[in-house]
Amino acid sequence: MTTRSSLQPGRIDPRYDELVGRIYAGAMEKQPWHSTLPALREALDAQVATLILRPPSQDDEGFILNSVRPDASRIDTPTLADPDDWEASAYREQFFSLDPFINLPQDQVITLDDILPDKELKQSDYYLHYLQPINLFRIMGVDTAEPGGMLARLRFARRSTEPRFLKRERQLLERLLPHLGRAIEIYARLNRTLSERDVYAGAVDQLSVATIILDEQGRVLTTNAVGKALLANSQGLSLQAGRLHIEGRDINKELQLALTNIIRAQQRGETAVVKALRLPRPGGKSDLGLVVRPVPSGQRHESQASPAAAVFISDPDLQDSTSQQSLRQLFDLTPAEARLATLLARGLSLAEGSEVQGISPHTARAQLKSIFVKTGVSRQAELVRLVLKSVASLA
């Protein structure tokens, strides 16, 4: 039995359905909304469609995307306009501050002639120096924001010879507005997540720790820069058929068992035990230290291609990245004192550190005594621990 409120798929306009799909897909495109803006411009029969995700300012050119109606004489017209075109660059650098069509009431579709009569517009500097030279006159737009604070400004413009935007075009934009708002929220969340990930990944790289993330099938999903270098250059550790492999049957069996136990515990919702391994290497190289641990379930999604286990690898032969400049700033050390502290943290003795720097043991002892006073420690082992645990390695 069909009720009046039942959905009737046959009455859905497939063109509208495609437009909504493009809005959401645009949030995840490498070049955001590169296929969405042209579709919106065409649906609203506009000469130009513009999306402003970050307004320009004196020290920031902002983030503005434009789609211009294709030139009928050209078949290679790009999907989005060149951001260095005069229309875009001039707006960023000169005319954004003069634009009367900014700071609109949120989530309301408005046309320029709603707030400024044609006669006044034609007398304005914005029209005379910007709109008129590019032959634009009719403008319709809307401002919307996502909960995190990102404000999106969507604008459509027509030439002076073209008709005003009509009620049906306003209604179409109003229907699309909730979808645009959700897509902007998706875009903002993805960008924040990626930014946070890059910060954390950069910190781990600076600490010279290799990180390898595996999915629930034991396949490698991602590897940081240190991990890629280690897999490419290190003997005893490699990828085989997309899976992490250690040379040596017993140690590899131990690794695979640890991964299997962790992944199965994740799947059953049980607490998984962190596993530590030591990987001997030939050729006089130091042993690698491996820690295998689960990816917290609250940070992953329920799919077989989601992170399930992380392998952290420490290579003692990698030179640490402690910043001497940061040590100087943290502890008010002189350049010579910072160099000595860094050498000691790398495992050198005081005599070896003095030899590397080309100074006498007496001078090195005097520098070490000064370092002790400035850092508040009294033993070389305490100094090494302080340096290694300081934020200098993240600089």
C-alpha to C-alpha distance for 8 and 2, rounded to whole angstroms: 10
pLDDT value of residue 199: 76
Residue 4: the pLDDT is 47
Give the per-residue pLDDT at 368: 92
Under 8 Å between Cβ of 95 and 58: no
Superfamily of the domain at 207-314 = PAS domain (3.30.450.20)
Q: Is the pLDDT of residue 3 over 50?
A: no
Give pLDDT tens digits for 168-211: 999 999 999 999 999 999 999 998 888 887 777 776 676 678 88
Per-residue confidence (pLDDT) for residue 305, from 0 to 100: 58
Please list the residue range(s) of the chain that carry CATH number 3.30.450.20.
Answer: 207-314
Return the minimum-mean-pLDDT range out of 64-78, 182-196, 380-394. 64-78
322 pLDDT tier (thresholds 50, 70, 90): low
Q: Nearest 10 degrees: CA dihedral of 221, 190, 193, 146? A: -160
Contact 354, 247 (CB under 8 A): no
Does the pLDDT value for residue 321 go beyond 60?
Answer: no
Question: What H or E segment, with its residue span, contains residue 81?
Answer: none
Overall fold of domain 10-194: Beta-Lactamase (3.30.450)
What is residue 80's predicted lDDT score, i.e. its pLDDT? 64
pLDDT for res 319: 62
Give CATH 1.10.10.10 domain extents, the chain: 324-394
Confidence bin at 2 (pLDDT 50/70/90): very low
**Res 55: pLDDT:** 80
* pLDDT attached to residue 1: 44
Mean pLDDT of the 370-391 span: 87
Q: What is the pLDDT of residue 298?
A: 53
Check pLDDT > 90 for residue 246. Answer: no
pLDDT band at 135 (very low <50, low <70, confident <90, very high): confident
SS3 87: helix
Question: Which pLDDT band holds residue 97 (cuts at 50, 70, 90)?
Answer: low
Among 240, 210, 247, residue whose Cα is nearest residue 225: 210
Helix/strand/coil for 80:
coil
Mean pLDDT of 20-31: 91
Q: Residue 185: what pLDDT?
A: 94
For residue 280, is pLDDT > 70? yes
Exposure string over 129-167, b if 16+ CB within 10 A, otherwise e: ebbeebebbbbbbbbbbbeeebebbbbbbbeeeeeebee
pLDDT of amino acid 214: 87
The residues of the chain that CATH labels 3.30.450.80 are 10-194
Inform me whether the pLDDT recorded for 261 exceeds 50.
Answer: yes
Tell me the C-alpha distance between 208 and 345, whole Å. 14
Domain 324-394: CATH class, spelled out = mainly alpha
Average pLDDT of the segment spanning 7-31: 82
Q: 200 near 192, Cβ under 8 Å?
A: no
Residue 38 to residue 43: CA distance in whole angstroms: 9
Which whole number is the average pLDDT over 253-281? 84
* CA-CA-CA-CA torsion sign (186, 36, 30, 155): negative
How far apart are the C-alpha atoms of 179 and 141, rounded to whole Å?
15
- Mean pLDDT, the chain, integer: 82
How many CB atoms neighbour CB 247 within 10 A?
14
Whole-angstrom Cα distance, residue 44 to residue 42?
A: 5
Tell me the mean pLDDT in the region 219-231. Answer: 87
Give the whole-number percent of the chain exceeding pLDDT 70.
85
Amino acid 300: pLDDT: 45
Confidence of residue 86 (pLDDT cuts 50, 70, 90): low
* pLDDT tier at 84, thresholds 50, 70, 90: low
Is the pLDDT assigned to residue 301 strictly greater than 60?
no
